[in-house]
């Protein structure tokens, strides 16, 4: 019958302190921070500042369309009355708005929203 041998474990905070004292680089969270204010969320994605209503983002049909690769409805919800401005900001140098760019933008917004508190 095998017996468990006790292992000495060091708490993460102690390891972090020892590493900092030794001059080692301390890892930092490089994730984009989303700032929550009451029922809205303020984020910046690709240089575009957005103030999003949390209720608007909780749209099942839009999430369902995103899941099957159709970001159109979610893009509409995200942009609101700023669609023209945001479309122009995302368009390439020829003025063409690519579906891949819109999809990537919507995904980045989703990631930033997920980081809000």
Q: Is residue 9 part of a domain?
A: no
Q: Is residue 106 part of a domain?
A: yes
Q: Is residue 86 part of a domain?
A: yes
Count, residues in the chain: 117
Q: To the nearest whole percent, how much of the chain has pLDDT over 90?
A: 26
Q: Is residue 47 part of a domain?
A: yes
What is the count of structural domains for the chain? 1
The domain containing residue 77 runs over which residues? 36-115
As a whole number, the mean pLDDT across the chain is 77
Express each pLDDT in 8-54 by its tens digit: 665 556 666 776 677 766 555 555 454 545 678 888 999 999 998 87
pTM of the model: 0.61
Q: Which of 19, 38, 40, 37 is nearest to 28 (CA)?
A: 19
**Contact predicate 117/82, CB 8 Å:** no
Beta bridge partners of 40: 37, 53
Q: Where does the pLDDT of residue 57 fall: very low under 50, low under 70, confident under 90, or very high at 90 and above? A: confident
């Amino acid at each position: 019958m095998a017996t468990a041998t006790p292992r000495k474990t060091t708490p993460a905070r102690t390891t972090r302190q020892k590493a900092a004292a030794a001059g080692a680089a301390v890892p930092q969270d490089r994730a984009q921070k989303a700032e929550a204010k009451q029922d809205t969320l303020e984020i910046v994605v690709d240089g575009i500042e957005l103030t999003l209503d949390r209720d608007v983002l909780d749209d099942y049909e839009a999430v369902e369309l995103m899941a099957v690769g159709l970001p159109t409805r979610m893009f509409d919800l995200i942009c609101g009355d700023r669609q023209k401005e945001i479309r122009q900001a995302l368009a390439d140098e020829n003025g063409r708005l690519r579906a891949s760019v819109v999809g990537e933008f919507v995904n980045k917004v989703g990631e930033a929203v997920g980081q809000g508190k």
